[in-house]
């Protein structure tokens, strides 16, 4: 049975707040970041609503941002694969043509022997990074293919190869750890052999061009992908959907799913203002808050806690918009102890007129564990939100 066969109209509005990398792990010294954050507004929502834990993709599976978000929007992340390149392109408004191969790039710092000493080039500031990416765009030339470089944010950029016979079946050059050299790109199928060679040439060219840069002297690529068509979210759910996100990649995933992307906000205040202006025109509002994940990836526990508290402070303004159903969760866990995404379940709360109540009155892993929603896959969330909004008809007689 397809969910869309049960979808029916309703005036109820749904607000989904995604705190990127929200989930954490407790250890012998600390609770999770969310447990230890001071979040009076989220706690009140937890008390008035129903809580639980979401497993983003599957047991033990650490999701990237693409699958993590697809699952929250109700798309089976195994059925709908989405490379980081395609997400970045959509987020930057770069129109991928059929046949293009796109990848997510990091500017990185290499030492003299070619080992990665900083995968993010010290989280280089936007202005400096933009100058460097423009250099790459101007100076990198590889025979047989046209190469585009677009700056995203900080050390992040988009790289697109355009030419004949390209294939995205190429492995990442990003080794994901430091102290080792970048990986050589390898084809995952015979048709991608030439593309892998071209990628190797692009990386070598970039290194030549950036040789004199003090900290951004290398390029790491991951998530090779090509243009994809995804079944639009508004068609699947009957919801007019919009997205407010500071980082282009999250605007990208929303755009690929047929959301209207609201401007290019630079912080939570601007995101909330965009949602407020858009409020009458939509049914589903996706607010993305990145900072918790960035702090978690840096292994900075205190900053992750502060990022969660910063979101909490905006909750009253968001509730003042008048959502009928509000949900708060994350796309995956990013425990600061691990300084990386992880497979651990992520807390979730849902508040609406018919959500039911559990006994949980604080938002955090240890409390949500016994909440009324139980432990479930992230793909379960969207039908639960639709049901709470009165947007699903009864199944069967």
Residues 221-280 binding a copy of itself (CB under 8 A) are: 222-223, 225
The yes or no reply on residue 290 touching a copy of itself (CB under 8 A) is: no
CB nearer a copy of itself, residue 211 or residue 370: 370
Q: Residue from 335, 336, 351, 363 that binds a copy of itself (CB under 8 A)? A: 335
Q: Report the relative pairing of strands 374-377 and 50-55 from DSSP bridges.
A: parallel
Phi, psi of 115 (to 5 degrees): -85, 145
Q: Could you tell me the smallest distance in angstroms from the CB atom of residue 208 to a copy of itself?
A: 26
Q: Which two tokens stand for residue 256?
A: 């690929």
Closest CB 338 distance from a copy of itself, rounded Å? 6
| Among residues 12, 61, 200, 230, the one that binds a copy of itself under rule CB under 8 A | 61
| Residue 397 touches a copy of itself, criterion: CB under 8 A | yes
Residues with Cβ within 8 Å of 361's Cβ and at least 6 positions away in sequence, in order, are: 43, 46, 47, 367
Residue 283 phi/psi, 5-degree rounding, is -110, -30
Which residue from 33, 128, 271, 365 is in contact with a copy of itself, where contact means CB under 8 A? 365
When asked if residue 339 is in the footprint of a copy of itself (CB under 8 A), the reply is no
Identify the CA nearest to 323 among candidates 9, 12, 50. 12
Residue 84 or 301: the one with the smaller Cβ distance to a copy of itself is 84
**Helix, strand, or coil here: 375?**
strand
Element containing residue 43 per DSSP (H, E): helix 40-48
Instruction: Find the shortest distance in angstroms from Cβ 38 to a copy of itself.
Output: 21
Least spacing, CB of residue 249 vs a copy of itself, in Å: 9
Stretch that binds a copy of itself, among 52-60, 192-200, 234-242, 262-270 (CB under 8 A): 52-60
Hey, what are 41's tokens? Answer: 């507004």
d(CA 387, CA 397): 17
- Pick one of 240, 298, 343, 362: the residue that binds a copy of itself (CB under 8 A): 343
Q: Please list, in sequence order, all residues whose beta carbon lies within 8 angstroms of the beta carbon of residue 255, skipping any fewer than 6 positions away.
A: 90, 91, 243, 261
Binding residues for a copy of itself restricted to 76-105, rule: CB under 8 A: 77-78, 81-85, 87, 104
393 binds a copy of itself (CB under 8 A): yes
Cβ-contact 176, 165 below 8 angstroms: no
Cα-Cα end-to-end distance for the chain: 15
Q: Per CB under 8 A, which region of 128-136, 265-273, 298-306, 365-373 contacts a copy of itself?
A: 365-373
Q: Nearer Cβ to a copy of itself, position 150 or 215?
A: 150
- Say how many residues touch a copy of itself, by CB under 8 A: 71
Cβ contact 318:275 at 8 Å: yes
Residue of 126, 139, 235, 359 that binds a copy of itself (CB under 8 A): 359
């Amino acid at each position: 049975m397809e969910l869309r066969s049960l979808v029916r109209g309703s005036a109820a509005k749904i607000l989904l707040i995604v705190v990127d990398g929200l989930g954490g792990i407790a250890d012998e010294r600390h609770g999770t970041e969310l447990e230890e954050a001071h979040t009076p507004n989220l706690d009140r929502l937890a008390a008035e609503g129903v809580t639980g834990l979401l497993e983003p993709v599957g047991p033990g599976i650490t999701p990237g941002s693409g699958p993590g978000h697809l699952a929250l929007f109700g798309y089976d992340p195994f059925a709908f694969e989405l490379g980081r390149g395609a997400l970045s392109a959509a987020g930057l408004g770069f129109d991928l043509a059929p046949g293009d191969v796109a990848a997510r790039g990091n500017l990185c710092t290499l030492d003299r022997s070619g080992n990665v000493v900083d995968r993010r080039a010290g989280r280089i500031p936007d202005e400096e990074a933009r100058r460097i990416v423009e250099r790459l765009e101007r100076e990198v030339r590889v025979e047989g293919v046209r190469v585009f470089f677009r700056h995203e944010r900080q050390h992040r950029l988009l790289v697109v190869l355009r030419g004949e016979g390209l294939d995205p079946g190429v492995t990442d050059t990003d080794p994901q750890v430091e102290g080792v050299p970048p990986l050589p790109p390898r084809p995952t199928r015979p048709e991608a052999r030439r593309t892998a060679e071209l990628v190797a040439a692009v990386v070598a060219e970039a290194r030549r061009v950036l040789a004199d840069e003090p900290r951004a002297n290398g390029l790491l690529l991951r998530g090779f992908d090509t243009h994809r068509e995804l079944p639009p979210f508004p068609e699947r759910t009957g919801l007019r959907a919009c997205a407010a996100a500071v980082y282009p990649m999250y605007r990208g995933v929303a755009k690929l799913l047929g959301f209207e992307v609201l401007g290019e906000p630079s912080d939570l205040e601007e995101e909330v203002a965009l949602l407020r202006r858009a409020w009458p025109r939509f049914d589903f509002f996706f607010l993305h808050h990145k900072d918790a994940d960035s702090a978690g990836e840096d292994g900075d526990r205190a900053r992750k806690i502060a990022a969660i508290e910063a979101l909490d402070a905006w909750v009253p303004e968001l509730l003042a918009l008048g959502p009928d159903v509000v949900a708060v969760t994350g796309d995956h866990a990013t425990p600061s102890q691990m300084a990386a995404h992880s497979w651990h379940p992520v807390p979730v709360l849902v508040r609406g007129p018919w959500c039911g109540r559990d006994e949980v009155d604080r938002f955090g892993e240890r409390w949500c564990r016994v909440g009324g929603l139980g432990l479930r896959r992230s793909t379960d969330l969207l039908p639960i939100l639709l049901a709470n909004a009165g947007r699903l008809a009864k199944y069967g007689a």
